[in-house]
A = this chain, B = another copy of it.
Amino acid sequence: MEGITNEACSLAGHWGLGKLIALYDDNHMSCDGGTDLIFTESVEKRFEALGWHVVFVRDGNTGFDEIRAAIQEAKAVKDKPTLIKVRTTTGYGAPNKANTTSVHGKVLGSAEVEATRKNLGWDYEPFQYPEDVKQHWSRHISKGASLEAEWNIKFAEYEKKYEDEATEFKSIITGELPPYWEKSLPTFPPESPAMATRNTSQQCLNALAKVLPGLIGGSADLSSSNMSLPETFSNFQKTTPQGRNICFGVREHAMAAICNGIAFHSPGLIPYCATYLAFIDYMRGAMRTSAMSKAGVIYVMTHDSIAVGEDGPTHQPIEHLSSFRSMPNILTIRPADGTETAGAYKLAILNRRRPTILALSRQSVPQIKGTSVEGVERGGYIVSDNSEGNKPEVILIGTGSELRIAVKAADDLRKIGKMERVVSLVCWEVFEEQSEEYKESVLPVAVSARVSVEAGVTFGWERYVGVKGKAIGIDRFGASAPAVRLYEEFGVTVKAVIEAAMAIC
């Protein structure tokens, strides 16, 4: 019933995934009663429409030969995935509770367990298994060992003949990154031209695509907006499975779930996927799975603020950064320029056991003096400071495309003699993990005059600006207008930062 299954199964049919066999337990029961209450579509016809081969097993309770035959049939179909619809009775064998909703979500209870044992003629103790069952299944141990030995010999031969390919293959299996991979990341000196971080992101992807054989990903039908298609990649399709660009279509939820699957398949596969940041909500369920299951998926989320302009509030992220900073075990990185984008990719690639969100701008941003890859690796750091002894009069904190606002405000305040520090808080989660000494060196407890600026909700910023400080942001939904006008209307400006700083120091 869940929509994500239709998204994923539509793609499986499109790609003709002939190795995929899904057994569908058709027991006609749901939590609230029989499925006739809520689910009367023809599953067979829907899957045929999606390009699947469909087999029906009439007796999934005891029809073992029928199930075996269905699997054989499915294996023989090489150009389509197969759905085996297996008609079963939920709680089969339980004399009083079989085929009831109570079996679906509740325990049988000791009386019904006893009655079921009796009914099925099962005389063994709990957790005891019969010797013949053990023997039957143990046959796989020796069979598996000999298959593995065969494979090892074959691979040793392959390695002799194709040294480079074998090294690449092993790196994908082990997850060990090639040496000096991070040297490939582009650099963006302060004098280089202004550029959107979605474009600096593209340069990073182009570079990494060449050195990381396990990098694979794509976009939910926005690759030319997300700038997420590396120049060396071709499309992954039925007839071109070697392609590393996956066209997901407008299916965000399945996209994230598929990336989880790729991450779990092998530690050296590094999946990324892309859409607009405002659409991230559509895949949040699968992203929670990334975080909980430690899948190092990289989420390339562009158009990360009201600066998308005329498309209006539906397309303008407001609460999204905050909503993911709330989630455990996921990094939310919002780079301010090219250098920080390179740093963000370095962090993301190194974090193979937790997912990363890259929040990237649609609009051009200048390369800022003082940003650094090393700074990004610490989550937050000092971009500029004209004070001494770790005692600035005010600390201005920015992220992403608003860091330049903090920088400009500091420049102006310094002209009138103020001692200002600018901090880039590019990744809160990583900053929190730094030593107390380091955090104190960036945000000294004694300096309570702090102003933050970010084009999103101020929720959560109290952690860094404290009771006396001021968070400049947008605590309502956006609007449709040119980006410059919106920043003015919502008060996310150099002037607002200067006024807030003057008011508290």
Q: When the two chains form their complex, are residues B38 and A49 in contact, meaning their CB atoms are under 8 A apart?
A: no
Listed from nearest, the 10 A-B pairs whose CB atoms lie closest are A3-B3, A38-B249, A45-B49, A46-B49, A462-B462, A322-B326, A6-B6, A319-B326, A323-B323, A281-B284
Given contacts A221-B30, A459-B325, A476-B328, contact A40 B51 (CB under 8 A): yes
Tell me if A251 counts as interface (CB < 8 A to partner B): yes
Contacts A38-B14, A51-B41, A319-B327: A225 and B31 contacting too (C-beta < 8 A)?
yes
Proximity string of chain A (461-479) to chain B, C-beta cutoff 8 Å, 1 when within and 0 when not: 0110011000000011100
Q: Closest chain B residue to A229 by CB distance?
A: B32
Say whether A146 faces chain B, with CB atoms less than 8 Å apart.
no
Residues of chain A having any CB pair with chain B under 8 Å: 1-7, 10-11, 13-14, 30-33, 37-46, 48-51, 105, 219, 221-225, 235, 237, 247-254, 279, 281-282, 284-285, 288, 291-292, 313-314, 318-319, 322-329, 445, 448, 457, 459-460, 462-463, 466-467, 475-477
Residue of B2, B49, B247, B313 touching A37 (CB-CB under 8 A): B247
Shortest C-beta distance, A102 to chain B (Å), equals 10
**In the assembled complex, which residues on chain B have CB atoms less than 8 Å from the CB atom of A322?**
323, 326, 460
Please measure, in the bound complex, the distance between the C-alpha atom of A231 and the C-alpha atom of B445, giving whole angstroms: 57
Chain B minimum-CB-distance residue to A31: B221
Contact B328 A31 (CB under 8 A): no
Shortest beta-carbon distance, A312 to chain B, in Å? 10
A422 to chain B, nearest CB (A): 22
Contact A38 B248 (CB under 8 A): yes
Q: List 9 additional A-B contacts (Cβ < 8 Å) besides A31-B221, A328-B476.
A: A30-B221, A37-B247, A45-B45, A46-B50, A282-B285, A291-B477, A292-B314, A323-B326, A329-B477
Q: Measured between alpha carbons, how far is A225 from B106 in the docked complex, in Å?
A: 11
Bound Cα distance A50, B44 (Å): 11
CA distance A285 to B14 in the complex (A): 26
Q: Which residues of B contact A14 (CB under 8 A)?
A: 38-41
Q: Considering residues A223, A282, A292, which has the most beta carbons from chain B within 10 angstroms of its beta carbon?
A: A282
From residue A327, how far is it (CB to closest CB) to chain B in Å? 5
A328 engages B6 (CB within 8 Å): no
A323 to chain B, nearest CB (A): 4
Let me know if A251 and B221 touch, CB within 8 A: no
Contact of A235 among B5, B37, B457 (CB under 8 A): B37
Residues of B near A327 (CB, < 8 A) are 319, 323
- Least CB distance, A460 to chain B, in whole angstroms: 5
Q: Which residue of B lies closest to A321 (CB)?
A: B326
Q: List, in ascending order, chain B residues with CB within 8 A of A222's CB.
A: 31-32
Given contacts A2-B251, A284-B281, A319-B326, contact A49 B42 (CB under 8 A): yes
- B251 near A1 with CB under 8 A, answer yes
Interchain CB contact under 8 A, A221 and B32: yes
The interface centre, meaning the residue of A7, A48, A326 with most chain B CB atoms within 10 A of its CB, is A326
Whether B247 lies near A32 (C-beta < 8 A) is yes
Known: A13-B41, A31-B221, A45-B48. A250 touches B2 (CB 8 A): yes
Most buried by B among A291, A313, A477: A477
In angstroms, Cα B48 to Cα A288, docked, is 34
**Bound Cα distance from A237 to B34, whole angstroms:** 14
> Is B247 a contact of A38 with CB atoms below 8 Å?
yes
Residues of B near A13 (CB, < 8 A) are: 40-41
